[in-house]
Every structure is written in C-alpha cells, then in structure tokens.
Structure 1
C-alpha cells in the first residue's frame, strides 16, 4: 500500500504523541497501534512495525534513567532474563499463530490495556501507600530525592516477582500496549526500592522485550515488517520521548489518559466492527 501525505503526517503525530505519553503515564502504543491499523496496515504488520519503531523511544528513556538503573543493578540481571524469556515466547506466538487469531485477540488486549490505563492513578496511589509504609530514609537529602540507600532495590528477586515479570514479557512480546503500566504495578508491589527505581527498571524491561521481539521479527518474519512505519514511528517517538517530555510535564496526566482512552476506543471499534458485521 502507498502512503499519502496525510497518512504520513498522522503516523508522525501519533509517534510523537506516543513518545510524549510514554514519558508521563506510559501506554503510547495505544495511540500508535490503532493509528497504523486505521490508515490501512494489517494488524500483525502494524504490531510488529510499531514494536520495532518504539525501540528508539525506549533507548531514549533508558538513557534518561541511567542513574536509577545503576542503583538497581542488583535486580536487573534476573528481571532482564525473565523479560527476555517471556518476550521470546510472546513474539513467537505473534509470528506463528494465524492472523485471524490476532485479529480477535487484539480488541480484547486493547480493552485490557485500556483498563490498566484508566485505573493507573489508583494503582499508582496504592503502590505509593505501600512504599511509604516501611521505615523511610533518615537522611533528609535521601527523603527529598528518593535515592536513599534504603530505597535501592535489593537482591534476591523473589520467585513470585520473577514469574510475574516473565508473564508480563509474554504479554509484551505479543501485544506491547500498556506493558509499562503492568510492569510498574507488579514491581511496585513485589520489588524493594523507591518508585523512581521501579519506573527506571520498567523502562529498561520494556525496551528489552521490544528489542528481543524486534530481533525475532527480523530473523523470522522480515517480510511482514513495514519499514516505512518503523521509520516514521521510530523518528517521531524518539523526538517525543526527549523533546516531548518538557511538553508532557506541563500537561495534566488526566488529559493524556483521556487521549489514550479515546484513541484506544477508536482502535477497539475499528478492529471489532469487521468481526461483528461478518455475515
């Protein structure tokens, strides 16, 4: 399919907006994936191309969290292995299952992802309450920055946390939308450390899953990747993740979530309509 100028502009805007959203509340895929489908890309091609394009935004986000990731090095190896293992399985399922399966599963997964986004403030508030319950750092500067030694994630990683991160990796490898919100909720409950570290590790693990999925697509499904979508999403989301962060900080997260939900619902309807009108 050829892309007209308006389609290119819409994809660029969606990528930039997704990069901005990912720096604030996550779930930018709920903007880019429905847009790619709406402009004419097949759902599986849209999913693969979108995941590869968003790798650039993930690299930008990880660079921004390099300090917190260095402080979280005790848990990173085990959690990275869990995410990569799950991501391989999820990517494998996307590649081997018939496109008809994804066409049915995608609306369901969008609905699940939208629930994560809608209830994200309550989830985050609950996680914050849980994090503030233990004894807090005694050093005043640690309290102000959230980087006290007591707040740094510590090993070993519990079996429950490992299994949940592995399951989230499967979800992310198959359908990346709202993976970050899911990871943040899991680590907020089952991982030691401050919320800033959970957010940093979440960004790293999301990138790991996207990378392993991208490599899988390159090796086993090269012909199903649309490089125009990868390039457009990659460039615009990277700009959104860096330059858009300053915009995102000035916008009420509520309105960002409203945009995610509206676009996500539009994508849900777009994907469900052919299913309910068949026959």
Structure 2
C-alpha cells in the first residue's frame, strides 16, 4: 500500500471512531476503505477487527454503572458472545478466498441497509417497549439471538451493534436507553474474541493481517473515539448516517469493480 492509502485509512479510522461514539457502525467506513485500497477480503476483515477493537471501549465504560448493577444477569450473555465470536472468526478463516469476496459484498450491502433502517427500528422498538420481564436477559430467545448475532459479529463485525440492538429490544422489551450498554459490552466482547483469534492465526501464518494498517487505524480510532464522540453526538444523526452510507457505497463500488 502507498502512503496515500495509509493516510486514507487513518482518516477513515478517525471518522469511524467518532461515529462509533455516536451511532455505531464505524466499521462500515473503515472496512470498505480497506477493500478499496487493495486488501483482500479475509485480510481486510481481520485487519479491521483488530484495529477497531479499541474504539469499542468508550461505549462500554460510559455504561459501567448499569453493567455492574446487572452483572449477574449479563454474565451468561458475555459467555455466549465469546463462543459466538470465536465461531464467527473460525468460519471466516475457513471460507474459501473465492467465496469470501462475494459474501463480504453481500454482507456489506445488508449492513448498509441496517444502518439506513436503524431510525425506523429504533422508533418501532420504542413503541413496542413495555413492562420488561423480571429477568430480561435470561430468556431463551434473547440468548439464541445474542448467539447468532455474535457469530455474525465474529465473522464480519460491521453493523453488528444495530442488529444486536434490535434483537435485545424485541426479546427483552426494554427501552433502547436500557439495553444500549449491554449491546456495547457484547459487541466489545465479540470484537476482542475475534481480534485475538485473528492475531493468533496471523502469527501462525494463517491470515495476512496488515499490521502497519492496524497500528495506523488503531491509533486514529482511539483518538476519534475519545475526542470525537462528543462532537459526533452534537451533529445531526442524519448527517452522520449519510456520511457512513456515502463513504461505504463509494468504497464498496470500487472494491466490487476490482
């Protein structure tokens, strides 16, 4: 990759870190850019997952009081997230290079649709929210939904938070403000699990992680997540969502043509 490619990745990670602090789905900016600069799909997903894992800490720390208060309820879900994230990472590593390019393009398209539809989902969940069960996170539907979403996250990462927010909202009947912290924790758990799996596999020569890109993106994402989240939250949600969609579509189109 050229100096311009690394500069583009740095900027995209800075923007993605800020977006993660506001609406999530920052990987829909960085992952297509990795594809657009010529990184093959499996390596792009692995590189992006490792690089962006630091940006997920902020949302979890912001909700630490709520999470500590419900730790006994949430603990089984974190175990499920670890298992699902590991399975998703393994599935990515065993998918053939010929198939992964098509799969990634399809999943990116699905993720973009989810980001566009997120306000509609949020309004629907708000209307549907009622009296939550006494133990909202112990339900079978909640745990099954979290498991399959974790597999998706370990395999692909982008927009898993949107998907998880919808599943938790439907199955627990709790308002979004009450499940957002749990969503952040589970997303972080999946990302850390997948990042560890990809890192170990890279050391063993099983996947071509671009470590220089990881270093550039991780630093920018950390700065973006720390400094940019407050700015991003002051910007109109529509503007942020439009930025994610435009950058992802442009980069995705370029990647599809290569």
TM-score class normalised by the smaller sequence:
over 0.9
What's 1:240 paired with? 224
Structure whose alpha-carbon radius of gyration is higher: 1
CA separation of 1:250 and 1:48: change in aligned 2, threshold 3 A: same
Given that 2:35 and 2:252 are in contact with CA atoms closer than 8 Å, whether structure 1 keeps it comes out as: no
Whether 1:118 aligns to 2:116 is yes
What's 1:204 paired with? 185
Unaligned runs of 5+ in 2: none
Q: Measure, in 2, the Cα distance between the counterparts of 1:123 and 1:243.
A: 28
User: Which contiguous aligned blocks of 4+ residues in structure 1 show a shift greater than 4 angstroms?
Assistant: none
Unaligned runs of 5+ in 1: 135-150, 275-279
After TM superposition, the score normalised by the length of structure 1 is: 0.86
- More displaced 10-residue stretch of structure 1: 164-173 or 232-241: 232-241
1:209 Cα offset (Å): 0.7
Q: Measure, in 2, the Cα distance between the counterparts of 1:239 and 1:67.
A: 24
Deviations 1:29-85 (A, max 9, x none): 110001112122222111101101111111232222212211332331121122111
After TM superposition, the score normalised by the length of structure 2 is: 0.93
Given that 1:54 and 1:237 are in contact with CA atoms closer than 8 Å, whether structure 2 keeps it comes out as: yes
Count of residues in Structure 1 that have an aligned counterpart in Structure 2: 255
What's 2:59 paired with? 61
- More displaced 10-residue stretch of structure 1: 15-24 or 192-201: 192-201
Q: Measure, in 1, the Cα distance between the counterparts of 2:137 and 2:105.
A: 37
Match of 1:12 among 10, 13, 26: 10
Question: Within 5 Å, which residues of 2 pair with 1:63-142?
Answer: 63-131=61-129, 133-134=130-131
Look up the SS of the partner of 2:222 in the other structure.
Answer: helix
Question: Within 5 Å, which residues of 2 pair with 1:27-66?
Answer: 27-66=25-64
Look up the SS of the partner of 1:74 in the other structure.
Answer: helix
Look up the SS of the partner of 1:225 in the other structure.
Answer: coil
